Amino acid sequence: MRLSADLKRRQAGARWRAAFDTLAFSLLLLGLGWLLVAGADALHYNWQWYRVPQYLYRLEEGGFRAGPLLQGLGVTLELSALSLLLALIFGLTAALLQRSSSWAGHAVARVYVEIVRNTPMLVQLYLVYFILAPILGMDRFAAAVLALALFEGAYAAEIFRAGIEAVPQGQWEAAEALGLSRLAVYRHVILPQAVRVVLPPLTGLGVSLIKHSALVSVIAVADLTTEGRNLIAETFMTFELWFTVAALYLALTTSLSLLVGWLERRLAVGGAGRH
Amino acid sequence: MPRSKRRFGWLDALVLAVIFGLTGYLIYRVQIHFHYRWDWRLIPGYFMRYDAERGHWALNLLGQGVLMTLRLAVWSGLLAGLIGGLVGLCRISSSVFLRLLGRSYVELIRNMPPLVFIFIFYFFISGQLLSALAIENRIANAAPETLRVLAILFGPPELWLNFLSGALCLALFEGAYVAEIVRAGIQAVPIAQWEGAAALGLHPQQTLNHVILPQALRTVVPPLAGQFISLIKDSSLVSLISIQEMTFSGNELAVSSGRVFEVWLTVAALYFLLCSGLSRLFRRLERRLDRHGRQPH
């Protein structure tokens, strides 16, 4: 009896403390906000939040029209989707080559992964844009897609490799005992099982791809960051526009991260049930 | 999987054909279509040049860039370790306030493109914060000997402001990732260790210092080494806010000399040597640490 009363008192205390801490945290956020506003005031910064919505969208008689920022967001999504697709192809090819019996394939995949993982994304982008693009006559959008895909492809390769290796050895042996060819083993036995393991980290790769896609503003592809930088150069609303751009990215990536968490939980449960 | 090595199969033939085909096509485009004249002779001069006026060798742009990248990596690495350690401890603290603080910092930075963070930092923080430090006044008042020592550590004094904002920016950014590594390392220590320490009558602070952290250290070291290599790679990003490191020098040289292909290939090769060399070194150290760790005490 005394023990449970003690426990109850302690729980109540913990709840009070948590409420107090949350309050303190909100106060801290308020303080930071105040500091920002005060700092901007000291610079005689003229807040013009009311001008921001028109850069997001406009409601004209024709209906809803996307402003530069939302158009930039569209380009970011298009760029990310295209390069994700290409990255998956590169990654799967590299992973399969690395596992194949071919020494040439193994070497090529290793060299590719090593080069990409040991140089900065920015330098790779410059290499593609300044060297490969003029040689092959690519435009900047294609160069951006290729650079992003090559970069993320190397990470996708590691994910695929881990996914394939996670399939139990017995599956290989059983498939071989059934007389399946190597291609058939991969297509019908290994890859369908590997997909479950691979899907959550691949979604994480998508998040990182969206983040890295901001880099293409360096070569003036009209993505969200580029649009933001252009608008800032025009309007000098540095604070408002950077915060808006950051918020758009945050909304995009956090919703994808939430999706990753959900996928992980779902696939984990499904996987445990099926064995 | 039975693996037959050193045999020439159809896949080898295919891969080699594709590689040779691609390389041949590229060379054809460069030489015939593009008429590019390779000239590598200028590149060594971009690292070191002979100063005829003073009569000794001096570092040129690319050499200075390499040094700046190394300095940035070391100092922002240390700072990121400090920030990450503190925030990592906040993340596992029993206080909701500290947990909220750590969580917001980590989530905010990890969900924002590095580029956007760097620009926001550059516009808002670096200008106001660094003017408050009044570094320029202090440099003017410092003794020449101290300046010389500091120049070895932080680079030429006229670039300190530049260097500091770059290092701070990188450290704040990487700190979020370090924090997650630290948190994961602490949480990987079995809960029974906490309970055991509590049963022995240790205070939570003592438990952390004497029981948990020594064990967490071992799990934390390999991912931290990887994060350090990431930091070197990410340091190329601060070239965009005019911190004069390797990528910045590369950009300047490519524009001023017109030797675009050679300069960018050189910069990429430098990063590759630095990062792959470090990762090899870390792997060797790790293996040695493992071997020592397993021996009975």
Q: Do A122 and B247 touch (CB under 8 A)?
A: yes
Residue of B30, B236, B261 with shortest CB distance to A123: B236
Cα separation of B7 and A6, whole Å? 74
Q: Give tens-digit pLDDT for A84-101.
A: 999 999 999 999 999 888
* Exposed/middle/buried for residue A9 (C-beta within 10 Å: 0-12, 13-18, 19+): exposed
Residue A118: its chain B contacts at CB < 8 A?
229, 233, 271-272, 275-276, 279
Residue found by looking up tokens 């900047």 in the block: A140
* B117-to-A216, A247, B101, B261, B276 alpha-carbon distances in Å: 15, 11, 18, 30, 27
Question: What proportion of chain A, given as a percentage, has pLDDT over 70?
Answer: 96
Q: Which residue has the tokens 């995009």?
A: A252
Query: How far apart (Å, rounded) are the C-alpha atoms in residues A224 and A209?
Result: 14
Alpha helices, H only, A44-137: 53-56, 68-99, 103-117, 121-126, 133-136
* Residues listed for chain B: 297
Give the mean pLDDT of A169-183: 91
Does pLDDT of A186 surpass 50? yes
The residues that bridge with A66 in the sheet, in sequence order, are: A57
For the cut 90, the answer to whether the pLDDT of residue B3 exceeds it is no
Size of interface A-B (CB pairs under 8 A): 160
Query: What is the pLDDT at residue A273?
Result: 41
Please indicate whether, in this complex, the C-beta atoms of B112 and A135 are within 8 angstroms of each other. no
Q: How confident is the model at residue B297 (pLDDT cuts 50, 70, 90)?
A: very low
Read off the pLDDT of each residue in A108-124 and give the average, rounded to a whole number.
95
A50-54, B84-88, B95-99, B245-249 — which is least confidently predicted? A50-54
Minimal Cβ distance to B97: which of A25, A130, A211:
A25
Least confident of A18-22, A125-129, A165-169, B216-220: A18-22
Q: Cβ of B9 and A102 within 8 Å?
A: yes
Of the listed ranges A26-30, B33-37, B75-79, B271-275, the least confidently predicted one is: B33-37
Name every chain A residue with its beta carbon within 8 A of the beta carbon of B251: 126
- CB B107 to CB A225 under 8 A? no
Q: Alpha-carbon distance B67 to B48, whole Å?
A: 12
> What per-residue confidence (pLDDT) applies to A274?
43
Task: Name the range with the highest mean pLDDT among B39-48, B57-66, B145-154, B262-271.
Answer: B262-271
Find the angle CA(B295)-CA(B296)-CA(B297) to the nearest 5 degrees.
110
B275 shares contact with chain A (CB less than 8 Å): yes
Partners of A57 in beta bridges: A66
**B118 neighbourhood in chain A, CB within 8 Å:** none
The residue among A268 and A48 whose pLDDT is bigger is A48
Beta-carbon neighbour count of residue B186 at 10 Å? 20
Determine whether the interchain pair B236/A245 forms a contact, defined as Cβ–Cβ distance below 8 Å.
no
Determine the residue among B10, B14, B116, B264 to mutate to test chain A binding: the one whose Cβ has the most chain A Cβ atoms within 10 Å.
B116
pTM for the predicted model, two decimal places: 0.85
Confidence of residue A80 (pLDDT cuts 50, 70, 90): very high
Q: Can you tell me the mean pLDDT for A238-246?
A: 88
Residue A156: which pLDDT band, with cuts at 50, 70 and 90? Answer: very high
Instruction: For residue B223, give the nearest of B280, B181, B277, B284 by alpha carbon.
Output: B181
For the stretch A31-37, contacts whose Cβ atoms lie closer than 8 Å and that sit 24 or more positions apart, written own/partner, are: A36/B124
* pLDDT band per the 50, 70, 90 thresholds, residue A262: confident
Residues from chain B contacting residue A114 (CB–CB below 8 Å): 276
Residue A272 has pLDDT above 60, yes or no: no
Using the structure block, give the residue that is written with the tokens 């952390």. B208
- Per CB-CB distance under 8 Å, the chain A contacts of B253 are none
CB contact under 8 A, B29 and A39: no
B26 near A CB under 8 A? yes
Least confident of A68-72, A139-143, B152-156, B272-276: B152-156
Q: Is B281 on the interface with A (CB under 8 A)?
A: no
Shortest CA distance from A228: residue in chain B: B116
Q: What is the mean pLDDT of residues B156-171?
A: 83
- Write down the ipTM of this complex: 0.86
Of the candidates B12, B124, B237, the beta carbon closest to that of A103 is on B12
Query: What pLDDT sits at residue B218?
Result: 85
Q: Residue A41 pLDDT > 90, yes or no? A: no
Task: For residue B175, report the phi and psi dihedrals to the nearest 5 degrees.
Answer: -55, -35
CA distance B113 to chain A (A): 4
Mean pLDDT of A259-269: 77
**Given phi > 0 = left and psi -120 to 50 = alpha, else beta, which region is B255?**
alpha
Chain A residues with CB-CB distance to B97 below 8 A: 20-22, 24-25, 28
Strand partners, A44: none
Read off the pLDDT of each residue in A44-70 and give the average, rounded to a whole number. 81
SS3 state of residue A1:
coil
Average pLDDT in chain B:
86
Burial of B19 (0-12, 13-18, 19+ CB in 10 A): middle
Paired tokens of B262: 């050679």
Among A28, A108, A115, A135, pick the best mutation site for testing chain B contact (most B Cβ within 10 A): A135
- Determine the angle formed by the axes of helices B213-234 and B260-294, rounding to 10 degrees: 170
Report CB contact under 8 Å: B233, A119.
yes
Q: Among B26, B29, B112, whose Cβ lies nearest the Cβ of A246?
A: B112
Whole-number average pLDDT of chain A: 87
Of residues B5, B98, B271, nearest to A123 (C-beta)? B271
pLDDT(B110) > 80 = yes
Query: What pLDDT is attached to residue B136?
Result: 66
With beta carbons under 8 A apart, name residues in chain B contacting A103: 5-6, 12
Cβ-defined contact of A118 to B271 (cutoff 8 Å): yes
Q: How far is A254 from chain B (nearest CA, A)?
A: 6
Answer for the pair A193, A165: CB distance below 8 angstroms, yes or no: no
Q: Among the listed ranges A12-21, B89-98, B111-120, B177-186, which one has the minimum average pLDDT value?
A: A12-21
Worst-scoring range by mean pLDDT, A1-5, A146-150, A241-245, B69-73? A1-5
Q: Confirm or reject contact between B161 and chain A (CB < 8 A).
A: no
